[in-house]
Amino acid sequence: MLTALARAFRTPDLRRKLLFTLGIIVIFRLGSFIPTPGVDYTAVQECLTQAETNSSLLGLVNLFSGGALLQLAVFALGIMPYITASIIVQLLTVVIPRFEELKKEGQTGTAKLTQYTRYLTIALAILQSTTYVSIARDPARLFGAQCTAQVVPDQSVPILALMVLTMTAGTGLVMWMGELITERGVGNGMSLLIFTSIASTFPSSIWAIGQENGYAIMAAVIFIGLFVVAAVVAVEQSQRRVPVQYAKRMIGRRMYGGTSTYIPLKVNMAGVIPIIFASSLLYLPALVAQFNDPRAEWVLWIDRYLVRGDHPLYMAIYFLLIIFFAYFYVAITFNPDEVAENMRKYGGFIPGVRAGRPTAEYLDYILTRITLPGALYLGLVSLIPLIALVLFNANQNFPFGGTSILIVVGVGLETVKQIESQLQQRNYEGFLR
The answer to whether residue 206 is domain-embedded is no
The answer to whether residue 391 is domain-embedded is yes
Q: Are residues 171 and 58 in the same domain?
A: yes
pLDDT of 55 reads: 44
Q: Are residues 228 and 353 in the same domain?
A: yes
CA dist list (Å): 146 to 46, 142, 253: 10, 10, 80
The partner residues of 401 in beta bridges, in order of sequence, read none
Q: Are residues 327 and 267 in the same domain?
A: yes
Spatial distance between the Cα atoms of 233 and 25, rounded to a whole number of angstroms: 24
Task: Give yes or no for residue 19 having a pLDDT over 60.
Answer: yes
**Lowest mean pLDDT, pick from 366-370, 383-387, 422-426:** 422-426
Domain count, the chain: 2
Residue range of the domain that includes 362:
211-398
pLDDT digits (tens, 9 = 90+) for 281-336: 777 777 677 666 667 777 777 777 776 666 788 888 888 988 998 898 888 888 88
Q: Are residues 154 and 55 in the same domain?
A: yes
pLDDT digits (tens, 9 = 90+) for 111-132: 888 899 999 999 999 988 888 8
The answer to whether residue 261 is domain-embedded is yes
Task: Give yes or no for residue 258 having a pLDDT over 60.
Answer: yes
Q: Are residues 97 and 222 in the same domain?
A: no
The answer to whether residue 386 is domain-embedded is yes
Write down how long the chain is: 433
Spatial distance between the Cα atoms of 423 and 3, rounded to a whole number of angstroms: 12
- CATH number at 74 reads 1.10.3370.10
Q: Are residues 118 and 250 in the same domain?
A: no
Spatial distance between the Cα atoms of 188 and 415, rounded to a whole number of angstroms: 8
Q: Are residues 392 and 409 in the same domain?
A: no
Q: Which residues contact 180 (CB under 8 A, 6 or more apart)?
A: 20, 24, 189
CA dist list (Å): 153 to 43, 68, 133, 192, 349: 10, 19, 12, 35, 68
Q: Are residues 89 and 9 in the same domain?
A: yes
Q: Are residues 383 and 263 in the same domain?
A: yes
Q: Are residues 111 and 240 in the same domain?
A: no
The answer to whether residue 217 is domain-embedded is yes
The answer to whether residue 312 is domain-embedded is yes
Task: Give yes or no for residue 374 having a pLDDT over 80.
Answer: yes
Q: Are residues 73 and 92 in the same domain?
A: yes
The answer to whether residue 319 is domain-embedded is yes
The answer to whether residue 62 is domain-embedded is yes
Spatial distance between the Cα atoms of 307 and 11, rounded to a whole number of angstroms: 52
Q: What is the mean pLDDT of the chain?
A: 79
Spatial distance between the Cα atoms of 195 and 178, rounded to a whole number of angstroms: 12
Q: Are residues 430 and 315 in the same domain?
A: no
CA dist list (Å): 380 to 23, 111, 224, 374: 36, 37, 14, 10
Spatial distance between the Cα atoms of 276 and 112, rounded to a whole number of angstroms: 26
Report helix, strand or coil for 348: strand
C-alpha gyration radius of the chain:
24
Inter-residue contact 388 to 394 (CB < 8 Å): yes
